[in-house]
Structure 1
Amino acid sequence: MRTTAREEPPLPRDASPRRYLMCPPHHFRVTYSINPWMDPAKPVDLPLALAQWEDLRDRFLALGHTVSLLDPRPGLPDMVFTANGATVIDGKVLGARFAYEERMPEAEAHLAWFRARGYTEIHEPAHINEGEGDFAVTASWLLAGRGFRSSPLSHDEAQEFFGRPVIGLDLIDPRYYHLDTALCVLDDTADEIMYYPGAFSPGSRSVLARLFPDALVASEEDAAVLGLNAVSDGRHVLLPATAAGLFAPLRDRGFVPVGIDLGELLKGGGSVKCCTQELRG
């Protein structure tokens, strides 16, 4: 009798404790439009937005991560999207410089938070960058988006400050106006990512395919619900629950997908990653 070898299940991944900076959406609303997701004609249910944000925070805490809070400021409705306020690597802080006037005061609010907590290696940027919105940290590279928000000149600035090689990637679809809407680092110790090719220029797609030949490639359907705006601790991947097509491929690789509903915050153009700035080192 002929038998066939049974495929072995993937080995479980190891999670590592993370430190995150978040900001409660007490002043969140959509009164202007600076990305295709924002429509001031669609009202925001603020109590629901807060409840959804609290669920994300509580999930991080339940997984053993540390969450620090940035105090929200009146008149800055997008402060909930803390990923845009800075990039932190090895305890070094590269501040943000926002492209749109509506968000510019957020940069100083973030820098004030870091200074008050004893961070000493802080760089105030000369060129526009929107923090982890357009910077993604892998084991080998700092991936850097450009095309809608962050300036290409910010890439050299980040490379000089962090001393890490920067790989510039061109975004071409306005729905994916930040890198973190189209690409997620799954394992920052092994250069493992997932991304949506349609968000990138042909040359950038070729670069990603060359650097990450084993990447998880997302479908248009999962990208269109901001399924790639996700956060991974090396094992658990917190991502929009509506990105159903990503769950099985993540499990096949040994990850544990955790679906999150941030539907109200999606009205501002952000989801899990946008609400989460990682404090590395």
Structure 2
Amino acid sequence: MTVTLAPHTAPDHHGRTSRPRRYLMCPPEHFAVEYAINPWMDPARPVDAARAMRQWDALRRTYLDLGHAVEVIPAEPGLPDMVFAANGGLVVDGTAYSARFAHPQRAAEGPAYLGWLRAAGLRGVEAEHVNEGEGDLLVVGDLVLAGTGFRTAVAAHDEVRALFGRPVVTLELVDPHYYHLDTALAVLDDTTVAYLPEAFSAASRETLRELFPDAILAKARDAAVLGLNAVSDGRHVVLAAQATGFAARLRERGFVPVGVDVSELMKAGGGAKCCTLELRV
């Protein structure tokens, strides 16, 4: 589904400006927790598939209500984690860099997403090295912050640097609960991020301090409900409704938090951002 994007909005009194975005999402038609490839997943824990679908659709409608475009890739049988569209690739300037998943259970998602992106008219480039798309590759202005430690290989960072001609900053994750960069760091606008310091190695914490001295430092209790797995349009920040402390910090900094409940999808280790791939065309 595609909607027409509205013009850029004027800055609010804090100077925060929302910019219409274009997102790709995948409905959780086959969502289940059938294996455990991160600490959040427990196949013995019941999953309510109907509730997951309602929560996903509420997230989709939230984006539409904020004036963004949402396109939907069909879910494929046998791929219960395909709902986590952010992992499906990285799209910058009309070029789509494909995902190459670390675990065999998700391997078929890479070609599925790349096929859709090519069919949508984007230039599709197949990755040579293991990476999990926007799960570990986050665009901040002209930079790409690139996570490693659990899923994405450092060699993929070099691929991204060569493909997009942008500076790529490697950040090492050290806590398996924050196995993707987008679970430990949220991009809020072109110069502002929020992150959980203890999710990163000492060297990467120093890098983040140097790059983003005014970053919001998240509390462990907010990160533990995947509050940092958030989607921002520069003013509105869509995040887990349970991350109330982080929401308060966002308000203090002039952002508008928009809480959503994706607790059923969290049983597989994903939140709002995991469900959302930005199409930068």
TM-score by length of 2: 0.95
Q: Which residue of 2 aligns with 1:51?
A: 54
Equivalent pair of 1:134/1:144 in contact (CA under 8 Å): yes
Q: Give the SS at the match of 2:248.
A: helix
Q: Give the SS at the match of 2:264.
A: helix
Q: What does 1:1-281 align with in structure 2 at a 5 Å threshold?
A: 11-119=14-122, 121-188=123-190, 191-281=191-281
Q: Percent identity?
A: 58
Q: Give the SS at the match of 1:245.
A: helix
Counting matched residue pairs gives: 270
Q: Measure how far apart 1:12 and its partner are.
A: 4.8
* CA–CA distance in structure 1, aligned partners of residues 230 and 16 of structure 2: 17
Q: Measure how far apart 1:140 and its partner are.
A: 3.1
Deviates more, 1:134-143 or 1:200-209: 134-143
Aligned Cα RMSD in Å? 1.0
* CA–CA distance in structure 1, aligned partners of residues 120 and 219 of structure 2: 41
Equivalent pair of 1:238/1:272 in contact (CA under 8 Å): yes
Q: Give the SS at the match of 1:267.
A: helix
Q: Any stretches of 5+ residues in structure 2 without a counterpart?
A: 1-11
Q: Give the SS at the match of 2:188.
A: strand
TM-score by length of 1: 0.95
* CA–CA distance in structure 2, aligned partners of residues 11 and 32 of structure 1: 45
Larger radius of gyration: 1
Q: Any stretches of 5+ residues in structure 1 without a counterpart?
A: 1-8
**Runs of 4+ in structure 1 over 3 Å off:** none
Q: Give the SS at the match of 1:102.
A: helix
Q: Deviations over 1:39-75 (max 9, x none)?
A: 0000110110000000000000001100000100000
Equivalent pair of 1:57/1:67 in contact (CA under 8 Å): yes
Letter in 2 for 1:164: R
* CA–CA distance in structure 2, aligned partners of residues 225 and 206 of structure 1: 25
Q: Measure how far apart 1:123 and its partner are.
A: 1.2
Q: Measure how far apart 1:141 and its partner are.
A: 1.0
Equivalent pair of 1:10/1:252 in contact (CA under 8 Å): no
Equivalent pair of 1:10/1:253 in contact (CA under 8 Å): no
Q: Deviations over 1:5-39 (max 9, x none)?
A: xxxx9615211100000000000000100000000
* CA–CA distance in structure 2, aligned partners of residues 34 and 187 of structure 1: 31
* CA–CA distance in structure 2, aligned partners of residues 265 and 12 of structure 1: 33
Q: Give the SS at the match of 2:34.
A: coil
